[in-house]
Chain A
Amino acid sequence: MTVTDTAVVEKRTTPSTPPLRRRRSRAGRTPWLYLAPALVVLAALLAYPVYQLGLISLFRYTQAQVSGGEPTAFRGFGNYADVFSDDQFWQVLSSTVVFAAACVVSTLAVGCALAVLLTRVRAVPRLALMLAAMGAWATPAVTGSTVWLFLFDPDFGPVNRLLGLGDHSWTYGRLSAFFLVLLEVVWCSFPFVMVTVYAGIRSVPSEVLEAAALDGASQWRIWRSVLAPMLRPILVVVTIQSVIWDFKVFTQIYVMTNGGGIAGQNLVLNVYAYQQAFASSQYGLGSAIGVVMLLILLAVTLVYLRLLRRQGEEL
């Protein structure tokens, strides 16, 4: 990253006159000097693990290799070939994408709607809603998943009793199991969206909203034409956050569908990687899946940022 960025800076300075250039290049170096400590930390915490991930994904690297029982063997892209030739991988990948998309959309919708609601209600209900949301946010994923599972339990769960569903099993059908997990994911991730968007709305000047209201704009119209454009940077951040979170969901699926559902029907990429690779110490294969996930997430994020830029928003 550092290398390409400097290259850009240099390219830009090429046409300028020599004395100016010297001054500029010194000016170009100073910011990097200031950034150096942060970059070193980032490199150690981010770049090095990613490098190791990529490196391991090229080797036959299992527990036997780690503990020295067998020599490490270079496989080139063999691990990737294994992953891509597995039909189940493609199936799991597509259900992960659809499931994550559904989670992101629902989380954003619920989070934004409740954030708007927060600005409309009095102090006491607002406090109650805030506390409830914080409670959901603070609940550990395993606990939350177990509690949700219990609520929908066919034998003892209150939901079935309330809806009069008898001993209907929610985790047996593929879609109903995914739906159940989606509810839990939305429940534990909407507070982040709500709080962030609420803070954003608070910082919008009240005259603007007042003017819109005076012009006779409806609630929905105000959100669409006034709030959403003004909150765009915040919405971008929460969307990317949610995409990354929901794409990587593990605990909820693992706990609620008992490790991927009946015959693996509810597997998502992270659980699949764990089962196929890490649980049986095939670190090479697991790293290959990890690299694929990383690339997908990077691509999604870049495309999203690109789209926004094209619309004229500088972030």
Chain B
Amino acid sequence: MKLPTRLAALAAAALVVAACAPQTSDNSSSDTDDKTGTLRVWLFQEVGNKPKEQVVDSVVAAFEKAHKGAKVDVEYIPVDTRAQRVKAAFNDPKSAPDVMEYGNTDTAGYVQDGGLLDVTEDFGDWSEAKATDPTAKQSVTVDGKLYGAPFYVGVRALYYRTDVFAELGLHVPRTMAELATTARKIRAAKPELYGLVVGGAYTYGAMPFVWANGGELATGKSGSYASGIDSAAARKGITAYTSLFSDDNCPAAKCAGMGGNDTITAFAAGKAGMAIGGDFSHTAVEAGKVKGEYAVVPLPGVTSGSIAPAFAGGNNIGVLKSTSHRTLAVQLMEALASKKTQASLFDAMGFLPTFTDVRDQAAAKEPFVKPFVQTLTAGTRFVPASPAWSQIDSSLVLPTMFQEVVSGKKDVAAASAEAAKKMDAAFGSVG
């Protein structure tokens, strides 16, 4: 080909490119607001889902009775493939549900995708909303607007082996420093056990160490987040956590690659003196070898008697922007996230309620949740409400940072500076 021909080909290619941009689907909010018809609901399929279904069925029955002509069609979607399902729903509004359950760290991302309906006013008018825990409310908030109702929360606390503690004459650690020395004492006396089992890929087990030392994941607010992971305080927390990966507690060769589930598995199998686990880990530990020989306390903070801030995980219920039954869908969301439903879900599934009063009643009924409620009351933290978070999370920025330090590839300063750079790049690209 001669040069002019080549240029012509290039120009033609450019024209083709300009003419057909990749596909986008129209996801603008629907104008119709039908008062009858079928409402589709997606909820997560939990392990042992039956009790959840029973609670939801009774909510649905009451809802259908109260709203003549409305039918509710509930579908339980597998947690593992939820990301694909939700993306597909956003891409094709016709097959999307009206109401859905979603993980609270996904809120900002889904809002940016244009999938969730702004329910700020409805939430303000909702009589029950006043008792909502502030952190739970933060997890449905993006840029001061609300995009759903909190459904339940999950927090982590310290699990420990009562039999091991009694045998070695140890008392429950009251500070983070004591936590480390207690862990080493256990390992020294019982080399077959990890003192406190930790994981290099266990971000939400590590973050309380950073938060307790005064560090932050990010500072600023939506649109102008800046990473705080390389601040002096945060580095102190990272040092505290990563120093637990040593042969006298949890050898790096084995613990660096562990995630949250691995640490719980090790604890449940009786291979660790202590572990950081959630209220949702209760069933797994109960099913393990250590049943009846463990107890839970809030994770201690830096000063004696304080509680390390925990990450407030959990799920929310939201309405999709594409719904053609706006009023009904919002009412159904409120019914599903109501105090009554949350109280029955706690009884059925052990999900911690997001309303402070309901939660206190639950704690009074079931002593096991007391340390978790204490942790929640002491104040919890949440990930930055930015769509960048899903990017930071899936490109493993924080696990990489912890693992670099643990495996001796980088020191705390270099690893945290690198992580901060990656986080800032993500915040910069999506706001």
A213 to B24, CA, bound (A): 67
Looking at the assembled complex, report how far the CB atom of A299 sits from the nearest CB atom of chain B, in whole angstroms: 20
- B113 on the A face (CB < 8 A): yes
Q: Which of B126-134, B156-164, B400-408 binds A?
A: B400-408
Cβ-neighbour of A65 out of B24, B396, B403 (below 8 A):
B24
The reply to whether A69 and B114 form a contact with Cβ atoms under 8 Å apart is yes
* Size category, B interface: 35 or more
Those of B275-316 within 8 Å (CB) of chain A? none
A58 to B403, Cβ gap below 8 A? no
Contacting residue for B113 out of A64, A71, A168, CB 8 A: A64
Contact, CB under 8 Å: B21 / A59: yes
Compute how far the CA of A276 lies from the CA of B201 in the bound complex, rounded to whole angstroms: 17
Report chain B residues within 8 Å CB of A169.
Answer: 253-254, 257
When distances are taken between beta carbons in the complex, the residues of chain A under 8 Å from B23 are 66
User: B253 CB to closest chain A CB, in angstroms?
Assistant: 4
| Alpha-carbon distance A259/B200, docked complex (angstroms) | 13
Contact status B257-A258, CB under 8 Å? yes
B409 and A64 form a contact (CB under 8 A): no
Q: Is A90's beta carbon under 8 Å from chain B?
A: no
Q: Are B256 and A172 in contact (CB under 8 A)?
A: yes
Interface of A is mostly: loop
Within the complex, the shortest CB–CB distance from B97 to chain A, in Å, comes to 14
Segment at the interface with A among B65-73, B212-220, B368-376, B387-395: B387-395
Report the stretch among B25-33, B135-143, B225-233 that lies at the interface. Answer: B25-33
Interface pair A279/B394, CB less than 8 Å apart = yes
Q: Mark B102-120, 1 if CB is under 8 A from A, else 0.
A: 0000000100111100000
Q: From the candidates B24, B254, B387, B404, name the one contacting A68 in the complex (CB within 8 A).
A: B24
Complex Cα spacing A168 to B254, Å: 9
Bound complex: CA of A75 vs CA of B9, how far in Å? 21
Count of chain A residues with a beta carbon within 8 Å of a chain B beta carbon = 38
Report B-chain residues with C-beta under 8 Å of the C-beta of A204.
none
- Docked complex Cα distance between A56 and B115 (Å): 22
Determine the distance from Cα of A5 to Cα of B407 in the docked complex, in whole angstroms: 55
Q: When chains A and B are docked, how far (Å) is the Cα of A167 from the Cα of B192?
A: 11
Q: Is the CB of B390 within 8 A of A280?
A: yes
Which residues of chain A come closer than 8 Å to B24, judged between CB atoms?
Answer: 65-68, 71-72
- 13 additional A-B residue pairs with CB within 8 Å, beyond A55-B20, A68-B28, A279-B394: A63-B109, A65-B22, A67-B113, A68-B27, A68-B114, A74-B21, A167-B254, A168-B253, A172-B256, A258-B201, A264-B400, A265-B409, A280-B395
Give B contacts to A, CB under 8 Å: 17-18, 20-28, 87, 90-91, 109, 112-115, 200-201, 252-254, 256-257, 259, 387, 390-391, 393-396, 399-401, 403-404, 406-407, 409, 430
Which residues from chain A sit less than 8 Å from chain B, CB to CB?
52, 55-56, 58-59, 61-72, 74, 154, 167-169, 171-172, 258-265, 275-276, 279-282
Listed by A's residue number, 21 A-B pairs whose Cβ atoms lie within 8 Å are A52-B22, A55-B17, A55-B20, A59-B22, A65-B24, A66-B90, A67-B87, A71-B24, A74-B21, A154-B254, A169-B257, A171-B257, A172-B253, A263-B399, A265-B407, A275-B396, A279-B394, A280-B391, A280-B394, A280-B395, A281-B87
